[in-house]
A and B are shown apart, each in its own frame.
Chain A
Amino acid sequence: MAAPRTLYDKLWDSHVAHSDGAGNCLVYIDLHLTHEVTTPQAFEGLRAAGRKMHRTDKTIAVPDHNVPTTPDRLETIKDPESRLQLEMLESNARDFGVPYIPMSDIRQGIVHIIGPELGMTQPGKTIVCGDSHTATHGAFGALAFGIGTSDVEHVLATQTLQMQKSKNLRVQVDGALPTGVTGKDLILAIIGRLGTAGGTGHVVEYVGQVFRDLSMEARMTVCNMTIEAGARAGLMAPDDKTFAYMMGKPHAPKAAQWEQAVAYWKTLKSDDGAKFDKEIRMNAADIVPHVTWGTSPEDVLPITAKVPNPDDMSDANKRVSAKRSLEYMGLIPGTPLEQVKVDKVFVGSCTNGRIEDLRAVAAILKGKKIASHVGMLVVPGSGLVKHQAEEEGLDKIFVAAGAEWREPGCSMCLGMNPDILQPGERCASTSNRNFEGRQGRGGRTHLLSPGMAAAAAITGHLTDVRKVM
């Protein structure tokens, strides 16, 4: 009998197109998502070498990082550099024959939101994108990871990547999450436990009832931030919830092929007795709403905690970096996190820009006003999310509360488009990175869940969402 295999082993084995016997493999790529920031040099590279794409039917192009989120964006994009990147994506897609979704299309949105929405993201696929949060798609049992532009060019030219296999890391979380605690808190707690380099060299598989209980949206939130623990990819075995989510999506298999696909997808799980190189285990009942205090996603604590004192840290490297982080963040050790005042609230990104996230925000904001000193942006992850939210009247709740309701895009997640923090501004953000300057030069980011973002908007400071539910 064959040795028991992990889900990752199965996904890997089924995509090795060539192996040199020494661990160097050519891995076949089923879906290549492309956007405007990390592709111009790749297409240029193909042109310079006189190369063509291996095939064009497994690639999709959509603008997201640079797009403004104000309604006037269809008339003109003021920033000439952003405009050039966007124009190049369109012209490269046209020249090479890549399917392209323009900004005016209702399907436009953040690349990691639209893949699943359109049914392109499927269990068992290998999915890459010149973007580290490609890990998102692992929520479907797809092997999905971010790549650099040289590798983007490699996939365009060959539909494969040269790779060595990663190790298997199992993250098991038992039990159920308490009320008010979300997938975002779960992944922040996991990153806090693993550290930003704890997953380096590994592909993570999430197992345990808590993940089964999560919606597909929340599963995507968890897998999305796997990269913040340094892991190559995050995986969850597909189940009936996955299939129900996918059924009827535009690019999902149809009729007899659907049956055939589901039968195959059901085999995509780790075998009993499969070997993991590393395992961690946590208890869901112990997890409370989390928020970051520093400039790395591992700098995270329960909202009930206080700003840590670097002098209490035993590791010298950690002590030095915590000191720097606190200085940058303008925080004083010992301050209760709930007393930290915010200037901006950002709801959106590929981590928390899906319909369920917007519903969670609306549930808290309904009939309330955001604090007078706070500016709040609510940015749907895609045109389809925007449409759905408007159908449900969520946009009216946001606007009535005093928030701005925007067009889809990456927005304030990365500070590349006009949505940007000013130096010193503090933001409660549902995005994924609290790096120095990420949301704008000198900007200070606190990562948290959509409900926690809404709670902070109302009170004007970081707030335990369970108090306003």
Chain B
Amino acid sequence: MEKFVHLKAIAAPLLRVNIDTDVIIPSREMKGVSKTGLSVGMFANWRYTDVPARISNPEFVLNRAPYDKAHILLSGDNFGCGSSREHAVWAMKEWGFRAVIAPSFGAIYYGNCVRNGILPVVLPDEAVRAIAAWVEASPAANQVEIDLPSQKVHAAGVAYAFSIGESDKDMLLEGLDPIGVTLKRDPAIQAFEAKDRMQRPWVYI
């Protein structure tokens, strides 16, 4: 997995609440069987005026320079709620996003980000709005800087502290393969199964 340590980049504001994963990638855009080729379907219903013909909607923030080069997304409460589809994260990663800053996230989406090297940053609504206003004043120059080791977002002359779980932080900083880590615990899993089989034999038939 790709590591996330430090990033200074253009941030794109998409300040709506409850942006769900059906909006991030409609089901019709995720009919492939691979993790690639999905970015073209990202925000398809908002990004195109004619979705099948892929006619770009000039109004949509990510179609406007310099936001089309953004690596950070600023959004509203409950970003990534709804469907568990990891395609939403794969699409955003392929498009170029490495971090999302929002007041809260859908739980499954949050986990999916961490497992793909995208940093989900939780900041209060006022902070996200303040950063967005600063960015909008001069989007190319006013780049947002995120430092994971110190858990700080630097923007608008302010250092905003954010919290993140220790294990999620380690996973991102080290680019760990979670399955590889768990496989080292195989003896514990085997031991659990042996004991559990005695206690709940009907679960093992």
Chain A residues within 8 Å of B83, by CB: 131-132, 414, 433
Chain B residues within 8 Å of A415, by CB: 26-28
Q: Does A438 contact B (CB under 8 A)?
A: yes
Task: Assess whether A435 is in contact with B20, with CB atoms less than 8 Å apart.
Answer: yes
Partner of B76, one of A227, A253, A260, A317: A317
| A359: min CB distance to chain B, Å | 29
Chain B residues within 8 Å of A122, by CB: 202-203
CA gap between A227 and B108 in the complex, in Å? 10
Q: Mark B193-205, 1 if CB is under 8 A from A, else 0.
A: 1001000111111
CA gap between A321 and B14 in the complex, in Å? 12
Q: Which residue of B lies closest to A320 (CB)?
A: B16
- The stretch that binds A, out of B65-73, B137-145, B176-184, is B176-184
- The stretch that binds A, out of B3-11, B109-117, B151-159, is B109-117
User: Which parts of A60-82 form the interface with B (CB within 8 Å)?
Assistant: 65-66, 79, 81-82
Chain A residues within 8 Å of B84, by CB: 38, 130-132, 146-148
Chain B residues within 8 Å of A197, by CB: 18, 77-78, 81, 104
| B5: min CB distance to chain A, Å | 20
Q: Which residue of A lies closest to B26 (CB)?
A: A437
Instruction: Give the total number of A-B pairs whose CB atoms are below 8 A apart.
Output: 186
Chain A residues within 8 Å of B33, by CB: 40-41, 44, 84-85, 88
Partner of A150, one of B86, B107, B201: B86
Task: Assess whether B78 is in contact with A196, with CB atoms less than 8 Å apart.
Answer: yes
User: Which parts of A190-226 form the interface with B (CB within 8 Å)?
Assistant: 196-197, 200-201
Q: Which residue of A lies closest to B85 (CB)?
A: A38
Q: Does B35 contact A (CB under 8 A)?
A: yes
Task: Assess whether A66 is in contact with B196, with CB atoms less than 8 Å apart.
Answer: no
Q: Mark B17-52, 1 if CB is under 8 A from A, else 0.
A: 110101100111011111100000000010000010
Q: Does B175 contact A (CB under 8 A)?
A: no
Chain B residues within 8 Å of A298, by CB: 18
CA gap between A81 and B193 in the complex, in Å? 39
Chain A residues within 8 Å of B108, by CB: 132, 146-148
Chain A residues within 8 Å of B45, by CB: 436-437, 441-442
CA gap between A442 and B52 in the complex, in Å? 13
| B183: min CB distance to chain A, Å | 6
Q: Does B124 contact A (CB under 8 A)?
A: no
Q: Does A244 contact B (CB under 8 A)?
A: no
Partner of A125, one of B17, B34, B85, B203: B203
User: Which parts of A395-445 form the interface with B (CB within 8 Å)?
Assistant: 414-416, 433, 435-438, 441-442
- The stretch that binds B, out of A17-25, A448-456, A460-468, is A17-25
For the complex of A and B, the 10 pairs showing the least CB-CB separation, nearest first, are A253-B202, A81-B31, A17-B192, A40-B33, A416-B27, A148-B86, A150-B115, A148-B112, A18-B188, A146-B84
- Which B positions have Cβ atoms within 8 angstroms of A? 16-18, 20, 22-23, 26-28, 30-35, 45, 51, 76-78, 81-86, 89, 104, 106-109, 111-112, 115-116, 125, 165-167, 178-179, 181-183, 185-186, 188-189, 191-193, 196, 200-205
| Given A196-B78, A257-B202, A437-B22, 14 new contacts (CB under 8 A) | A17-B192, A18-B185, A28-B189, A65-B27, A125-B203, A131-B84, A147-B84, A151-B111, A160-B182, A196-B18, A197-B78, A197-B81, A258-B202, A317-B76
A–B complex contacts, Cβ < 8 Å, 13 sampled: A24-B167, A28-B192, A28-B193, A81-B31, A158-B189, A196-B18, A200-B104, A200-B107, A227-B82, A253-B205, A264-B200, A438-B27, A441-B51
